[in-house]
């Protein structure tokens, strides 16, 4: 396999992953980013904890989807992440929150 073949394969895998993400995002309520992974989830529990003067984050996700091109199963029932790095949690807008402007499309 040439370097170009490998690059094309990786590009195709990323494109497939993006398409899957686009297809499933409406099923989830939150986007969660950690230093290692990107998740979609329906329940997020984030707790800041301290041990020996160090602060870390204990993150539990339920009903989640993992952005990882190398995972064969991206849907997971439960995920627990322990990290000393930043965690970003964003609530996704509901489909009904993205309504049309008053007067419809032609306004």
pLDDT digits (tens, 9 = 90+) for 31-74: 999 999 999 999 999 999 999 999 999 999 999 999 998 888 89
CA distance 18 to 16: 5
Within a domain: residue 100?
A: no
Within a domain: residue 37?
A: yes
Within a domain: residue 38?
A: yes
Decide: helix, strand or coil at residue 44.
Answer: strand
Nearest to 25 by CA among 96, 97, 93: 93
Within a domain: residue 94?
A: no
Within a domain: residue 107?
A: no
Within a domain: residue 58?
A: yes
Residue range(s) defining the domain that contains residue 19: 3-88
Lowest mean pLDDT among 1-5, 28-32, 66-70: 1-5
Within a domain: residue 83?
A: yes
Provide the domain count of the chain.
1
Within a domain: residue 106?
A: no
Quickly list H helices, the chain.
3-24
Q: Both tokens of residue 92? A: 């996704």
CB 55 within 8 A of CB 49: yes
């Amino acid at each position: 396999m040439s370097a170009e073949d490998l690059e094309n394969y990786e590009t195709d895998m990323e494109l497939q992953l993006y398409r899957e993400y686009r297809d499933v995002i409406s099923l989830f309520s939150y986007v969660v980013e950690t230093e290692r992974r990107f998740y979609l989830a329906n329940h997020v529990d984030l707790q800041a904890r301290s041990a020996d003067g160090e602060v870390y984050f204990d993150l539990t996700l339920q009903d989640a989807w993992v952005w990882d091109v190398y995972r064969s199963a991206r849907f997971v029932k439960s995920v627990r992440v322990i990290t000393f790095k930043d965690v970003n949690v964003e609530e996704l807008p509901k489909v009904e929150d993205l309504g049309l402007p008053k007067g419809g499309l032609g306004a």
